[in-house]
Amino acid sequence: AGQECVDPDQDELALSDWLCRCVLPSAGNATGMVADCFLNECDATCPTCAGYTCSDASQTCDDPETSTASLSDWTCNCVAPTMGSPMTAAPATCEMDECVIQDCWSCARATCTDADQVCNDLDPHYMSLRDWQCECIAPYTGERREGVAICSIDECTGSCPTCAGT
């Protein structure tokens, strides 16, 4: 099952050259014996397989076991700089937190930390870019999108018990 016999040279003197060839989308062949067939579910030549699911989501596909007995074990994986856990037989949920990325793709992290502020990516979805902001650290308040915040402090908030008692 899943193989076909092929005799490449049918000349009467060409004996023992027959081979078993795996039927698509499986691959593999062997001369004079049953072939070991394998199926890489991520292979682009397999239109009903996983490769399209992952590539359509801008992810890579990995099939850890290509035995024809091991199906639906493929995973979609995020591609850097996106991050996320691989998902079996489905696209992964990939995020790109601009405040976590160490390189200077957007320089968000360095911009905020160099100013002693906290970086916050408001929506880490990989399609939501340039939505990070620097936020002041308490007791200071303030925030600024895509840049260093101007921090301020309301001294009355901290001094309120002093004034309230008089």
**pLDDT for the residue numbered 46:** 63
**pLDDT for the residue numbered 148:** 96
pLDDT in tens, 24-68: 888 888 988 999 988 888 886 665 667 788 988 899 999 999 888
Q: Work out the mean pLDDT of the chain and round it to a whole number.
A: 86
**Placement of tokens 């160099």 in the chain:** 114
**One-character DSSP codes across 35-93:** ---B--TT-TT-TTSTHHHHHHTT-EEE-S--BTT--S--EEE--TT-B---EETS---
CA pair distance 115, 140, nearest whole angstrom: 13
**pLDDT for the residue numbered 155:** 80
pLDDT at 14 over 80: no
Task: Return the sign of the alpha-carbon dihedral for residues 59, 65, 69, 70.
Answer: negative
CA pair distance 61, 100, nearest whole angstrom: 24
pLDDT at 86 over 60: yes
Q: How does residue 100 score in pLDDT terms, banded at 50, 70 and 90?
A: confident
Characterize the bridge pairing of strands 87-88 and 75-77. antiparallel
pLDDT at 158 over 80: no
Asked if residues 74 and 86 have their Cβ atoms less than 8 Å apart, the reply is no
pLDDT at 114 over 90: yes
Q: What residues does 87 pair with on adjacent strands?
A: 76
User: pTM for this structure?
Assistant: 0.63
pLDDT at 140 over 90: yes
pLDDT at 1 over 70: no
